[in-house]
């Protein structure tokens, strides 16, 4: 058995910030438009770094050499990886990696190439957030959604962008929760708590948008039905957040406030 040579071997890239609809042109570095103004509180990062790892593929010698042969046109991948970690891949290198990702039919190769592009886009700073968004969504939709850290990062960014992205933020938070057993100890508690909080904040954001639409046209029956549906979703996710806060020993005050606000009654939220 031969693992990928360092630094492509077992290693974690620690990204301590967060990280978004699939847009065209994710192959080159361009200045991104400003992110839409936030419409609700943004869920802060849970304690500890959020990891994007390269260590879950146990390749033998044949697989390793096949991967290196398929990507040799892009240059020395041993040099490209640290360059990606610095956000310093150039447009030609990015374009080449994108082409190889499209061409290869081997899913593990796609994953490695996509992670390389993800790390470069994130490490390039705020100007590259929209490129990161495109690569992240493609990675999760088409390549691999089993990494709860990446789903968590993606969901948090979507929640940060406001009500328009609220449903999608909740979807990816749920995907992260499906794989929560990959976390342990205090990281598990912190991440799961933050995800339930994120879901509550995002659904509250969507509910407030539906409430505003109904208030603007209270004779519109469809708007009333939509408002009620969104409020029920906000009530449900707030109760989930509250239940986990109580279960995990976190301060339940804010979750209780959110639950009572959405439900309209403290009884629903397990209060007196």
Tokens 């990606």, residue located: 84
User: Does the structure show a pLDDT above 80 at 72?
Assistant: yes
- pLDDT for the residue numbered 28: 55
**Of 76-90, 128-142, 162-176, minimum mean pLDDT range:** 76-90
Nearest to 129 by CA among 12, 241, 21, 251: 21
User: Does the structure show a pLDDT above 50 at 205?
Assistant: yes
- pLDDT for the residue numbered 27: 53
Reported confidence tier of residue 1, pLDDT bands at 50, 70, 90 = very low
**Of 13-22, 54-63, 206-215, 222-231, minimum mean pLDDT range:** 13-22
| Cα–Cα dist 112/166, whole Å | 29
The Cβ of residue 251 has, within 10 Å, a number of other Cβ atoms equal to 9
Mean of pLDDT values over 74-83: 84
User: Does the structure show a pLDDT above 50 at 251?
Assistant: yes
- pLDDT for the residue numbered 13: 40
At a CB cut-off of 8 Å and minimum separation 6, what does 65 contact?
none
- Cβ atoms of 105 and 67 closer than 8 Å: no
User: Does the structure show a pLDDT above 70 at 229?
Assistant: yes
Reported confidence tier of residue 272, pLDDT bands at 50, 70, 90 = low
| In 62-183, beta strands by DSSP E | none
| pTM recorded for the entire structure | 0.78
User: Does the structure show a pLDDT above 80 at 147?
Assistant: yes
pLDDT digits (tens, 9 = 90+) for 86-101: 998 999 999 999 999 9
pLDDT digits (tens, 9 = 90+) for 35-68: 333 344 555 544 344 444 444 456 677 777 888 7
User: Does the structure show a pLDDT above 90 at 236?
Assistant: yes
- pLDDT for the residue numbered 198: 97
- Cβ atoms of 162 and 206 closer than 8 Å: no
- pLDDT for the residue numbered 200: 97
Eight-class DSSP state of 104: -
Share of the chain above pLDDT 70, in %: 77
Q: What is the CA radius of gyration of the chain?
A: 21
User: Does the structure show a pLDDT above 50 at 9?
Assistant: no
């Amino acid at each position: 058995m031969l693992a990928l040579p360092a630094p492509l071997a077992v290693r974690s890239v620690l990204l301590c910030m967060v990280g978004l609809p699939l847009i065209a042109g994710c192959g080159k570095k361009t200045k991104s438009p400003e992110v839409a103004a936030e419409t609700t509180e943004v869920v802060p990062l849970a304690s500890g770094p959020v990891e994007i790892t390269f260590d879950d593929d146990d390749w033998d010698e044949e697989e390793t050499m096949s991967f290196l042969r398929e990507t040799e046109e892009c240059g020395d991948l041993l040099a490209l990886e640290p360059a990606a970690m610095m956000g310093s891949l150039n447009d030609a290198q990015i374009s080449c990696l994108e082409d190889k990702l499209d061409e290869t039919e081997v899913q593990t190769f796609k994953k490695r190439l996509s992670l390389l592009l993800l790390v470069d886009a994130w490490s390039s700073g705020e100007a590259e957030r929209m490129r990161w968004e495109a690569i992240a969504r493609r990675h999760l939709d088409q390549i691999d959604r089993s990494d709860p850290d990446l789903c968590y990062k993606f969901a948090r960014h979507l929640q940060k962008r406001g009500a328009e992205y609220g449903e999608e933020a909740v979807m990816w938070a749920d995907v992260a929760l499906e794989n929560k057993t990959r976390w342990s100890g205090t990281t598990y508690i912190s991440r799961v708590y933050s995800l339930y909080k994120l879901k509550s904040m995002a659904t509250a954001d969507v509910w407030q948008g539906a409430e505003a639409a109904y208030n603007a046209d209270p004779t519109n029956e469809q708007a009333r039905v939509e408002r009620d549906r969104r409020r029920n979703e906000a009530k449900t996710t707030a109760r989930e957040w509250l239940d986990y806060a109580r279960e995990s020993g976190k301060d339940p005050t804010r979750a209780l406030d959110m639950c009572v606000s959405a439900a309209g009654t403290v009884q629903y939220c397990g209060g007196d």
